[in-house]
Structure 1
Amino acid sequence: MLLLLPAGILAQGCPAECQCSQPQTVFCISRRSPAVPQGLPRDTANLYMFENGIRSLSRDSFAGLPALQLLDLSQNLIPGLPRDVFQPLAGLRNLDLSSNQLHEVTNESFHGLRLLERLYLDRNRIQAIHPAAFDSLENLLELKLQDNRLQALPPLGLPTLLLLDLSRNRIGALEPATFHVHNLESLKVAGLGLRSLGEELLQSLRNLHELDVSDNLLARVPGALKQLRGLTKLSLAGNGQISQLHPEDFQELRDLQELDVSRLNLRGLPRDFLGSFPRLRAVTAAENPFNCVCQLSWFVSWVSSSKASLRRSDETRCHFPPKNAGRLLQHLEYADFGCPATTTTTTTTSKATSPKLATATPSTGHVPPEPSTPDASPEDGSPTPTPFTAPEGPPSPPEGTHLCPPRTCLNEGVCQLDASNHVECACPQGFGGLYCETQVQATAPPPAATQAPAQPKQIAIKHVGGTSLKVDLQNYIQSKTQLKGIRLTYWNLSGPDKRPVTLSLPASLPEYTVRALKPNSSYHLCVGPLGDQAHEQDLCVEAQTLHLTHQQHAPVTQRKDANLALVVVPAMASVLLLVAAMAAGSYYVRRKRRQKAQSVSGAGSSGPLELEGVKAGLEKAEPAGHGPKTAATTAAATGLECEVPLMQPQYTSAAPTPRAARPSYF
């Protein structure tokens, strides 16, 4: 049996519950021991001790390991770092302390690590970092601090740093003097709650190649992008207040290869916007409320002809008009966008005639008139081309306005494009909404002295499982006139992350289901008119999501007797489950009697758990406590996460983090 073991697995001096192999690599995985193992080989170069249950470190924990270059202590329970704990490891280059319980980083935490290149402190509970904590790390290349509780960041004077990740902390603003990292190539500041990204902050980062500012509160594309000419990867995803992309903000990004503009509030894209990036390889535009009208028709041809790939194409769908709502954008035909019909004119010459198409200008979408004078005619004697005339239809917009695609406005509304190239509809009497899609009951207005805005009724919330809430919008829509759209905002009152999430919904939507919520949590939901900021007149309600084991309950409203419904309905559900169980038992008894009457029961007869569909599931189940136990399966069971240094990609200590589900627009 000893011959079957890999070479070096029984190296001399290897601690119990560890595996030692050459060249100088020791794996002590899932030991479930509160202390660092003793008796490690002196020539150990790579030491992996993730998911060991280590609760503390001492000053002599790593004594006698002068050759150590990589130390992985992730997924343990370490609350703090003693003074000079890493002092004996003068040659250490990679240190992974992610997924522990560290609360602070002092100025003595990393003394002696002058050769350290990678330091991973992500997924801890760090609230404070001493201003001199990283001063001795003069060769540091990567610093990961994401998913902590930092509210401020000390100035970072790391001249060799290439990657910095601060995502998902509580840093609301980044001061211009924060970064003294002139060679930085990758900066990730996602989910900080940033409302702006100052030009002074990024003006010294001329070597930046990757920038992630996703899931913040930016209202527009940062103007500082004009200074980052070497940028190859940019993510603006999740900044729901951005409703327009201006080509001039991206004009310097000629080397851009990956662009993520998903989960914004985009209703369209500037014509040929993506064609300005000659090196583009991938673009993500999912979960935007696109208006699939003529101004966006270029996008389909770009997808089919471009070498760049459209990522998450199954989530890139139309939001309007109703005939296109929910359809995949890349599957639309040119005719589906409702572009104006083109006209052709021919000349009466002996040569073959060629059609002449009336084209629309890219910026406005209107058809330019042909330059001509009343007495002018072509020199060859051919008749003057007939100017383009719009087909008969709904009332024409006033003179000077832009031409809209046909059938954009519903119920005979008059369509035009405003100065920002956005669709506007002038609705006839009795209709309202952004596209005249909502019928409004006409009532005589009260006298001017007593006229007051209609007060909306209360909104009702229904539970849909343990992670979804259905919002009834019908009463709110009926209480408003000329409602262009609905702004739905919600945030979690129970968890640490109380940043609001804002969605833009059409005024014709009677209800909307908010998904991917936390179970057994309190949420604050507000409904207001689209285009306005949050106001005290918004209709708000608080609702509690269910535990994952509960079933759908009765509606939750702002009434005082709401708690009674939440108590009575689960009790009724329990009674129904009991009745169903009794019925299943009765069916089983009758079935057994029929089986005994037809044949003698043998060794393979069904047991009391072998009702239809039960036995098959039991046979496929793996017996508890059996099967190989790996670090990946254990990590998945505990929910812990870990990343190993990039220099060692062959060792993975945990499964990758799944992408959080986002609420759909449809």
Structure 2
Amino acid sequence: MWSSFSAPPGRPLPLLLLLLPFLLFLRLTGACPESCSCLPGNSIMCSERRSSVMPGAIPVSTQHLYIFENGVGTLSEDDFAGLDALELLDLSQNQLVALPDGVFGQLSSLRNLDLSSNQIAHVSEHSFSGLVKLERLYLYSNRIQSIHPAAFEGLDQLLELKLQLNALTVLPPVRLPRLLLLDISHNRIPPPGAADLRTPNLESLRMADLGLAGLDEELMSSLTNLHVLDLSQNKLTSMPAALRSVRGLIRLSLASNPLGQLAKEDFENLVGLQGLDLSNLNLQGFPEGFFQLFPKLNHLTVAGNPFNCLCPLAWFPGWVRGQSVELARREETRCHFPPSNSGKVLADLERRDFGCPVTTAATARTRPPVLSSTPAAAPLPPTARAGTTTTAAAAASVHTPSPPDAQGPAASPSTAYRYRPRPADKELLCPANICLNGGTCKFNPQGQVECLCPPDTAGLYCENRDESPSHPSPPVEATAGTAAATPEPDISSRQVTSTSILLDLKRYIATRPHIRGIRLTYRKLSGPDQRAQTLHIPANFPEYTLRGLRPNCTYSVCASAMGEPGGAGSSCTEARTTGAPVASPMEPRVVDPVAPPLVLALAGLALVMVATAVVAALVFLRRRRRSKAAHVELDGDEPAPLELEGVKACLDNGALPHKQPEIIAPCPPQQTTPTTTTMPNGVQEYEALLMQGQGNANNNVASLKPSYF
């Protein structure tokens, strides 16, 4: 039977032919490929093989094959020969640049194909031929410039198609009757129309960062099953009118759009919303009764807006707590104005922090204004609103007060606005909410509005409150009706210094045992530079140290699983670095921290006196020897006044402890006993790491090989 494989005389039989029976035996018996791990359920995981080719001898019974982050650069039909039972193939995070025609043709049972995070540039007509049962196709984070119009034909069972983060300029026709999720975000394609998307059962459509200025009404009306819509990072200046025909939305994202304002009538048909993202819209507040439109709302994101935390917004923290609404990115939802609330977390404020005036019978009921987004990020003063008037003409005469006139009389320190009432305004009260924290508003004789502040407040608007320590409130005992304790976060900071934060990731890893890696994103919450930094670390690091941070800053740190775009399932924490050492390197080091300052001063003075006496004695002895050698008789025992003054001048400039040792005068060479006060180079203490300035150098393990992404 093996006669046909015999080698010609004088030539040995090829090694491959000799090993062929053995390889066939291993494949049929289910042996695990080299550098791979065989898992229960006919699953094989080949991670970080660092090989440009597919592993060989894969058992034919394999159902789930994971070959991510291997460095695979090419594929061929022979790589999948006999794998008729394969249902899942993960080739993400490799070096694939092309998909040969029919390369997956033998995988007739394949349902999930992940080709994300490669370098694929083109998709041909027959790239996915034969995948008649395919349900999920992930092509995101590649370099795809073009897709053949017929590339998705025959994929009638497809449920999810992800094409985000590519270089597409034209969207191929998507005619998939069963498709439920489509993500085309972060491409440069024209706005899709009804002819481009024929997906009647589509539930989730993500179109972030497409440069959209509007939506096609015919397309929106055809998506009768749409539940999730992402329109973030586009160029929408107002709510698209096409959204009025979409009545089944559950989640809507309008983040990072230049919307002019929020109007209640634009959202009246979205009564079923459960999640709403209004972050980074430059909003100062919300229209009155805005959130009453969404009775089912349970997830809200309004981070990154410069909120005007005055009395018209005092209802918001209580509403969030009372409605049990989850406020996402809570630590990034902060006040911008007034100065007394600037930088504070909005949801942590109490009603008294908003400076609402004391309610009396004569006080008119104020309504929260409709605050629109403004392009300027500078803090704005409170809007002057009219109070109760006796005539309609008086109310109509309210106008925006102008700044104080530079030519007029000198204004008092508490003057807020110049306001010149006309004859019809004599009965007009002061604008509401101008004076904060219970301050009283009145007109001075020059027609200016003044705030009379209570004793514990100050400022133009009485916005600065005395932060006197208050008595601690008694502890509240837990009862049966008390809410459960706050669950322990998945990530936390164990230790912080002025330039580093040590993160504890053990709980995060324990609750996600199957993640491929961890994406860490951190950024400052204050200051001019709040750009996010992203790191990728293996999933087996229980602790990780962020280095090269700025002192005395608050950082937000989030961890999410790699391979999940948009930070899905992320967990965040907040930590503040300590302040930098305030002691100057020129200052002497104090050994005993509990010594009283007076004792230190006396000790320094005594040291100066001893040093002066030693120097004077040395000068005196030198002059005496010099006079004896020259047989010249000294007139007196005291050294010359000029020489003593020179020594004393040096000590005054460099040795007295109460002087700031910024510039130390050089002492004469006769002074041979150095002290800590005159030798600053010997007491300098280095607390910072030697490798500073490496903002992103956060490698904890020197031997860790760089990942492909």
Give the TM-score category using the shorter length: 0.5 to 0.7
Opposite residue 76 of structure 2, the aligned amino acid is S
Aligned match for 2:199, one of 171, 181, 187: 181
Task: Tell me whether 1:513 sits opposite 2:528 in the alignment.
Answer: yes
Opposite residue 405 of structure 1, the aligned amino acid is N
Q: Secondary structure at the match of 2:317?
A: helix
Q: Secondary structure at the match of 1:301?
A: helix
User: Which blocks of at least 5 consecutive residues in structure 1 are unaligned?
Assistant: 1-7, 346-356, 372-391, 416-425, 429-435, 438-464, 466-510, 520-547, 552-579, 581-610, 616-620, 626-632, 641-666
Residues 90 and 175 of structure 1: CA distance in aligned 2, closer, same or farther (over 3 Å)? same
Task: Tell me whether 1:18 sits opposite 2:18 in the alignment.
Answer: no
The aligned runs of 1:413-428 (5 Å cut-off) are none
Aligned match for 2:279, one of 236, 254, 262: 262
How far residue 59 of structure 1 moved from its aligned partner, in angstroms, is: 2.7
Opposite residue 236 of structure 2, the aligned amino acid is L
Scaled by the length of structure 2, the TM-score of the pair is 0.52
Q: Secondary structure at the match of 2:55?
A: coil
Opposite residue 162 of structure 1, the aligned amino acid is L
The aligned runs of 1:579-618 (5 Å cut-off) are none
The aligned runs of 1:342-381 (5 Å cut-off) are 342-344=359-361, 358-361=364-367
The residue number in structure 1 matching 2:265 is 248
The residue number in structure 2 matching 1:113 is 131
Residues 109 and 261 of structure 1: CA distance in aligned 2, closer, same or farther (over 3 Å)? same
Aligned match for 1:63, one of 81, 99, 112: 81
**CA RMSD after TM alignment:** 4.2
The aligned runs of 1:116-265 (5 Å cut-off) are 116-239=134-257, 241-265=258-282
CA-to-partner distance for each residue in 1:149-182, whole Å, 9 max, x for gaps? 1112122101100011112122253334221111
How far residue 201 of structure 1 moved from its aligned partner, in angstroms, is: 2.8
- Any conservation in 1 of the 2:313–2:368 contact (CA below 8 Å)? no
Residues 614 and 252 of structure 1: CA distance in aligned 2, closer, same or farther (over 3 Å)? closer
Aligned residues: 412
The residue number in structure 1 matching 2:117 is 99
Residues 61 and 401 of structure 1: CA distance in aligned 2, closer, same or farther (over 3 Å)? farther
CA distance in 2, matches of 1:110, 1:280: 41
Residues 232 and 109 of structure 1: CA distance in aligned 2, closer, same or farther (over 3 Å)? same
How far residue 287 of structure 1 moved from its aligned partner, in angstroms, is: 1.0
- Any conservation in 2 of the 1:10–1:20 contact (CA below 8 Å)? no
Opposite residue 273 of structure 1, the aligned amino acid is F
Residues 15 and 331 of structure 1: CA distance in aligned 2, closer, same or farther (over 3 Å)? closer
CA distance in 1, matches of 2:140, 2:109: 23
Opposite residue 187 of structure 2, the aligned amino acid is N
The aligned runs of 1:410-489 (5 Å cut-off) are none
The residue number in structure 2 matching 1:296 is 313
- Any conservation in 1 of the 2:44–2:66 contact (CA below 8 Å)? yes
Larger RCO of the pair (alpha carbons < 8 Å, separation 6+): 1
Aligned match for 1:406, one of 434, 447, 470: 434
Q: Secondary structure at the match of 1:513?
A: coil
Scaled by the length of structure 1, the TM-score of the pair is 0.55
Q: Secondary structure at the match of 2:79?
A: coil
- Any conservation in 2 of the 1:242–1:266 contact (CA below 8 Å)? no
How far residue 112 of structure 1 moved from its aligned partner, in angstroms, is: 0.8
- Any conservation in 2 of the 1:360–1:366 contact (CA below 8 Å)? no
Residues 515 and 337 of structure 1: CA distance in aligned 2, closer, same or farther (over 3 Å)? closer
Opposite residue 170 of structure 2, the aligned amino acid is A
CA distance in 2, matches of 1:207, 1:98: 27
User: Which blocks of at least 5 consecutive residues in structure 2 are unaligned?
Assistant: 1-25, 371-384, 392-414, 450-459, 462-498, 500-525, 535-546, 551-584, 586-685, 691-698
How far residue 319 of structure 1 moved from its aligned partner, in angstroms, is: 1.6
CA-to-partner distance for each residue in 1:450-481, whole Å, 9 max, x for gaps? xxxxxxxxxxxxxxx9xxxxxxxxxxxxxxxx
- Any conservation in 2 of the 1:187–1:208 contact (CA below 8 Å)? yes
CA distance in 2, matches of 1:397, 1:249: 38
Opposite residue 365 of structure 2, the aligned amino acid is T
Residues 10 and 156 of structure 1: CA distance in aligned 2, closer, same or farther (over 3 Å)? closer
CA-to-partner distance for each residue in 1:309-360, whole Å, 9 max, x for gaps? 2222221112223333222222333344344553327xxxxxxxxxxx7423
Opposite residue 93 of structure 2, the aligned amino acid is Q
- Any conservation in 1 of the 2:239–2:259 contact (CA below 8 Å)? yes
Residues 139 and 402 of structure 1: CA distance in aligned 2, closer, same or farther (over 3 Å)? farther
How far residue 58 of structure 1 moved from its aligned partner, in angstroms, is: 1.4
The residue number in structure 2 matching 1:501 is none
Residues 253 and 42 of structure 1: CA distance in aligned 2, closer, same or farther (over 3 Å)? same
CA-to-partner distance for each residue in 1:120-161, whole Å, 9 max, x for gaps? 001100001111110110010000111111112122101100
Question: Which has the higher mean CA deviation after the structures are superposed, 299-308 or 111-120?
Answer: 299-308
- Any conservation in 2 of the 1:272–1:299 contact (CA below 8 Å)? no
- Any conservation in 2 of the 1:9–1:20 contact (CA below 8 Å)? no
- Any conservation in 2 of the 1:396–1:414 contact (CA below 8 Å)? no
How far residue 92 of structure 1 moved from its aligned partner, in angstroms, is: 0.7
Opposite residue 294 of structure 1, the aligned amino acid is C
How far residue 220 of structure 1 moved from its aligned partner, in angstroms, is: 1.9
- Any conservation in 2 of the 1:185–1:208 contact (CA below 8 Å)? yes
- Any conservation in 1 of the 2:194–2:222 contact (CA below 8 Å)? no
Q: Secondary structure at the match of 2:56?
A: coil
How far residue 231 of structure 1 moved from its aligned partner, in angstroms, is: 1.2
The residue number in structure 2 matching 1:566 is none
CA-to-partner distance for each residue in 1:29-85, whole Å, 9 max, x for gaps? 221221112221111111111111111111322111111111111111111111111
How far residue 300 of structure 1 moved from its aligned partner, in angstroms, is: 2.6
